[in-house]
């Protein structure tokens, strides 16, 4: 009987000891969580903010400076993704501005056909627009979905399981994302995320993003538009598919000039109501887009109210919130001004 009681005491003491250990461990985790505002937040707060480089002067020399500041050399077969501009629109990036950088990286200017008709809906018309706007004079121009499309997996998406991009895109070793930051009729603003999502998507892939995965038909999509946030989230998911595909073989540069509320895909865009901001660059597309928006909001130019209204009325900041949530990048950044 005494042995049995001793054994019972041992078991009770052992359980009390284990309970105390577990309670201490739980308290430690809770305390560290409070300090970091939760384990997920703690992890984010410990991450070093992405660097966003900015130079106010917009010139070929400035473009080279921000590229070199990134410290990531474009090597191999280089795709330079930009918008060649809808016929009738003159806000696209000036070929004279980008020529030096494109030729330095021995880049090929790449695009995909549109899903809305217009002057770039097929390869022949698209190449003509690129020629008329001066791009074929500075580098080769390839319409990547001229011969079809391929799919890239979307990891962790709730709208898209795959992203349909131009068939030629996987042939490139490195991507220089050269964006014209400005407003956008549907997304609120267009920058790096829009450029690698809708921009690299094939014509039917664009319809797939715009419909949040409901259709690939360019004829049906405009009658099947989803809730706005679903579209914005689909755009972020498609961008993540491209970023995941590239890994560290991609960089992002945005020129914030000719700040119309409309994008370069609009044939008759609204005239810019505010002055130019500069050139910004980062290895993080979310940080870069956030920095561009922040520069607009912080501007002393009263004309900014038009672009801010366009961004906010389309719930544009949700794109960045969701992109950060799915791991495309971070809205925390360190702005480094270059001279």
pLDDT tens across 78-107, in order? Answer: 999 999 999 999 999 999 999 999 999 999
What confidence category does residue 170 fall into, taking pLDDT thresholds of 50, 70 and 90? very high
Distance between CA atoms of residues 224 and 84, nearest Å: 27
Q: Which pTM value belongs to this model?
A: 0.86
**Half-sphere exposure at residue 213, Cβ-oriented, CA atoms within 13 angstroms:** 16
Tell me the mean pLDDT in the region 284-288. 98
Q: Is residue 18 part of a domain?
A: no
- Are 198 and 235 in contact by the 8 Å Cβ rule? The answer is yes
- Pairwise CA distance, residues 206 & 203, whole Å: 5
Assigned domain for 35 exists = no
12 within some domain:
no
CATH number for the domain that contains residue 90: 3.40.50
The total domain count for the chain is 1
Mode of pairing for the β-strands spanning 182-184 and 149-153: unpaired
Residue 273, in any domain of the structure: yes
Q: Report if residue 21 sits inside a domain.
A: no
Q: Is residue 135 part of a domain?
A: yes
Q: Is residue 14 part of a domain?
A: no
Give domain status of residue 8, yes or no.
no
Strands (E), 167-249: 174-180, 182-184, 188-190
Based on C-alpha coordinates, what's the Rg of the chain?
24
Each residue of 127-138: pLDDT tens digit?
999 999 999 999
Residue the block writes with tokens 């080769």: 140
- Domain of 93 in residue numbering reads as 50-337
What is the per-residue pLDDT for 46?
58
Contact between residue 130 and residue 139 where contact means Cβ atoms under 8 Å apart: no
Of 180, 175, 164, residue with least CA distance to 85: 180
Across 33-42, 181-190, 202-211, 239-248, least confident range: 33-42
Strand-pair partners of 183:
189
């Amino acid at each position: 009987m005494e042995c049995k009681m001793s054994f019972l005491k041992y078991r009770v003491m052992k359980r009390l000891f284990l309970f105390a250990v577990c309670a201490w461990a739980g308290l430690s985790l809770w305390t560290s969580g409070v300090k970091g505002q939760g384990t997920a937040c703690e992890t984010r707060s410990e991450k070093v903010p992405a660097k966003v480089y900015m130079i106010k002067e917009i010139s070929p020399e400035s473009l080279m400076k921000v590229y070199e500041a990134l410290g990531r050399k474009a090597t191999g077969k280089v795709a330079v993704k930009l918008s060649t501009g809808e016929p009738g629109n003159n806000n696209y990036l000036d070929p004279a501005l980008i020529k030096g950088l494109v030729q330095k990286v021995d880049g090929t200017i790449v695009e995909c056909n549109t899903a809305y008709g217009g002057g770039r809906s097929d390869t022949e018309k698209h190449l003509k627009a690129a020629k008329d706007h001066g791009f074929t004079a500075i580098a080769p121009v390839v319409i990547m979905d001229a011969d079809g499309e391929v799919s890239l997996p979307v990891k962790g998406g709730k709208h898209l399981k795959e992203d349909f991009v131009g068939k030629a895109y996987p042939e490139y070793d490195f991507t220089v994302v050269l964006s014209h930051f400005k407003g956008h009729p549907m997304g609120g603003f267009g920058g790096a995320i829009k450029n690698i999502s809708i921009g690299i998507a094939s014509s039917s892939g664009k319809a797939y993003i715009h419909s949040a995965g409901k259709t690939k038909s360019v004829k049906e999509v405009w009658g099947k538009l989803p809730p706005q946030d679903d579209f914005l989230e689909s755009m972020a998911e498609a961008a993540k598919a491209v970023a995941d595909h590239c890994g560290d073989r991609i960089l992002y540069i945005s020129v914030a000039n000719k700040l119309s509320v409309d994008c370069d895909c609009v044939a008759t865009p609204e005239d810019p109501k505010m002055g130019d901001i500069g050139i910004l660059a980062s290895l993080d597309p979310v940080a870069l887009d956030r920095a561009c928006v922040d520069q607009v909001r912080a501007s002393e130019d009263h004309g900014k109210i038009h672009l801010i209204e366009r961004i906010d009325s389309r719930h544009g900041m949700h794109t960045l919130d969701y992109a950060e949530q799915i791991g495309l990048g971070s809205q925390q950044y360190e702005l480094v001004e270059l001279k």
